[in-house]
């Protein structure tokens, strides 16, 4: 069943709309995991999407849906018990899956970079300015003065002023928001074309998280840097994303302009996810003691046990008989949107 679901020919006629100037093209990406000596199971299943220069694409989904695996796959940083079993990742005309490790080191950081979920990736016994400088040193044989100038400029670009005090500080001497900005400076210092931000606001308070989102918007306005911004919170993308990919159980179930997806969600999971987002109480004021947030009943499927039909069927309000029998393909209800649901396309019932 897994092999049939991941067959590239099955989706060849239902590719997502290509951006006119897309420079990242992911086609039929298929990633499998193995736990200890057990059988392999699928984590990413037939992933297709594009990103254009200067575009901010949101990747939205619950924890465990495969978002971080997607990020690590694009950078070829999957753990040893995972492998890309099929598909292609075309970045600026090259298939990243065909590059050797030396070639990948030249791409990572310089052309394609990652902002981690939190600042625990920083070396606790190394000054933060030196940690930013080392990223530049890995890609440029410049004098130390030039390396330091580039690092200071990156710190200034993320709102840290490029001061000697920040440059010479150790991570524990900075606030959580400042440390996260250092992580962002590391990702941006070599001016990459595409930055993958893996839930960069997840460990921050609401005020600092809003500042980070504003920072990303400012960086987009100041350059053609593209972002894949990963989050589980639709509100984070509301003023940020041009387009959104909605992921569930390792599949992209909906893809389209954020404003359209937010106002008119087509996949039942997208609609349910947006209904769970906190909203102000009717008439303003403070929520009462008995207020309860909406939730999606049930649980996501166990990735080690592949359901025969749609992976969302056991939680779906619009469930039909066919949903338990077959897994829906990608359909294109309009030129700018795709959705993986039997309610649309040629197989609409």
pLDDT tens readout for residues 178-215: 999 999 999 999 999 999 999 988 878 888 888 888 88
Ordered domains of the chain (ranges, CATH): 1-111+232-276+293-349 (3.40.50.300)
Q: Which of 194, 199, 232 is nearest to 213 (CA)?
A: 199
Q: For residue 294, name the pLDDT band (cuts at 50, 70, 90).
A: confident
What order do you get walking across the sheet with 82-91 strand by strand? 40-51, 24-34, 82-91, 94-95
Per-residue pLDDT for 119 more than 60? yes
Per-residue pLDDT for 14 more than 70? no
**Mean pLDDT of the region 65-78:** 93
Per-residue pLDDT for 61 more than 60? yes
What per-residue confidence (pLDDT) applies to 281? 52
Helix (H, G, I), strand (E, B) or coil at 145: helix
Per-residue pLDDT for 275 more than 60? yes
Residue 116 exposure: Cα atoms within 13 Å on the Cβ side: 12
Query: Computed from CA positions of residues 195, 339, 64, 207, in that sequence, does the dihedral angle turn out positive or negative?
Result: positive
**Mean pLDDT of the region 86-91:** 94
Total-model pTM: 0.85
What per-residue confidence (pLDDT) applies to 210? 86
Per-residue pLDDT for 1 more than 60? no
Per-residue pLDDT for 35 more than 60? yes
What per-residue confidence (pLDDT) applies to 12? 35
């Amino acid at each position: 069943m897994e092999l049939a679901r991941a067959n590239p020919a099955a989706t060849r006629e239902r590719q997502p709309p290509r951006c006119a100037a897309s420079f990242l093209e992911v086609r039929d990406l298929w990633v499998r995991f193995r736990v200890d000596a057990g059988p392999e199971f699928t984590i990413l299943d037939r992933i297709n999407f594009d990103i254009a220069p200067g575009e901010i694409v949101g990747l939205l989904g619950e924890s465990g849906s495969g978002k971080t695996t997607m990020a690590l796959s694009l950078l070829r940083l999957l753990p040893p018990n995972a492998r890309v079993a099929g598909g292609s990742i075309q970045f600026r005309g090259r298939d990243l899956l065909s590059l050797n490790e030396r070639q990948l080191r030249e791409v990572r950081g310089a052309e394609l970079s990652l902002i981690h979920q939190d600042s625990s990736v920083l070396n606790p016994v190394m000054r933060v300015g030196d940690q930013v400088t080392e990223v530049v040193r890995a890609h440029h044989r410049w004098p130390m003065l030039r390396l330091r100038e580039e690092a200071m400029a990156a710190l200034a670009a993320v709102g840290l002023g490029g001061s000697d005090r920040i440059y010479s500080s150790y991570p524990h001497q900075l606030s959580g928001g400042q440390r996260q900005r250092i992580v962002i400076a590391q990702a941006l210092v070599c001016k990459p074309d595409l930055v993958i931000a893996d839930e960069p606001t997840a460990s921050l308070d609401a005020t600092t998280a809003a500042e980070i989102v504003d920072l990303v918007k400012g960086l987009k306005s100041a350059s053609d840097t593209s972002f894949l911004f990963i989050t589980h919170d639709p509100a984070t993308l509301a003023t940020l994303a041009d387009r959104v990919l909605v992921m569930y159980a390792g599949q992209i179930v909906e893809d389209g302009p954020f404003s359209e997806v937010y106002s008119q969600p087509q996949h039942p999971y997208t609609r349910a996810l947006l209904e769970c987002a906190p909203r102000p109480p009717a008439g303003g004021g403070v929520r009462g003691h008995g207020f309860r947030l909406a939730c999606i009943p049930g649980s996501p499927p166990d990735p080690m046990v592949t359901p025969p039909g749609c992976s969302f069927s056991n939680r779906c309000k619009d469930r039909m008989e066919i949903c338990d029998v077959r897994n829906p393909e990608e359909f294109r209800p309009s030129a700018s949107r795709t959705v993986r649901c039997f309610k649309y396309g040629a197989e609409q019932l």
